[in-house]
Structure 1
Amino acid sequence: MDTQGIEQMLSVLRTTAAQASGKTAESAPVAGAPDFAQVLKSSIDKVNSTQQQADQMATQLAAGDTSQNLHEVMIALQTASVSFQEMVQVRNKLVTAYQDVMNIQV
């Protein structure tokens, strides 16, 4: 999962929170800023493809495919696991940020 995409999402959330609390008068999106939904979708797609690739490698190894190296399969499975855990943590941070914005009294 790319950290640049996560940083961009957090930047958008911080800007939105600042706007909601009245700290800034800026209401138009910044030109050239990435679309939040698109960054989130591409990050989820990367995690999904990593998991699918690791699952495919493990299935091939279990079927007796000699082209699959056990070490590479284990590394791919761990990479998929770590990327999924990272995605869950990002989701938790996004939910917390959303709840903070929703709890701002107007």
Structure 2
Amino acid sequence: MTDAISSILSQIRAHEMRSRGTLADAPLGNAIAIDGNRASGGVGGTAPAPGFQQTLSNVIDKVSQTQANASSLQTAFELGDPRADLARVMVAMQQSQVAFRATVEVRNRLVQAYQDVMNMPI
């Protein structure tokens, strides 16, 4: 159990490091950023890191925004808007689908971890 949790945490950290590097270079504004208001590493005091509940809420909000963006691009394409080409619509829909699947997977792992903790003998 501990190895599985360590593995998941290391995967999340690796993904976060990759996303920090790629989000800075991303040309589109529809990529999902886990925490858009990070404090800069200045000499003065830094803002405390958001808690688990705030981080989870931010991620769910970003997934919701991604789904809304994909839906609006799809509607624009269906109405014949020349700015909404098929490639952008398909990419936005795939991003939305991947973000939702990742959120569901995180939820499933959290429920499993909760159940494991609750079933531990005292």
TM-score w.r.t. the length of structure 2 is 0.60
1:45 aligned residue: 61
1:81 aligned residue: 97
Q: Which runs of 5+ in 1 are unaligned?
A: 8-31
Structure with more of its chain in helix, by fraction: 1
- Give 2:75's match in structure 1, choosing from 45, 59, 80: 59
Larger Rg: 1
Q: Aligned ranges for residues 95-106 of structure 1 at < 5 Å?
A: 95-106=111-122
Cα separation, 1, equivalents of 2:49 and 2:84: 41
- Greater relative CO (CA pairs within 8 A, separation 6+): 1
Matched positions, count: 79
Q: Which runs of 5+ in 2 are unaligned?
A: 1-11, 17-47
Deviation track 1:52-73 (CA, whole Å, cap 9, x = no partner) reads 0000000010011111111011
Report sequence identity in percent. 46
Indicate whether 1:71 and 2:87 are aligned: yes
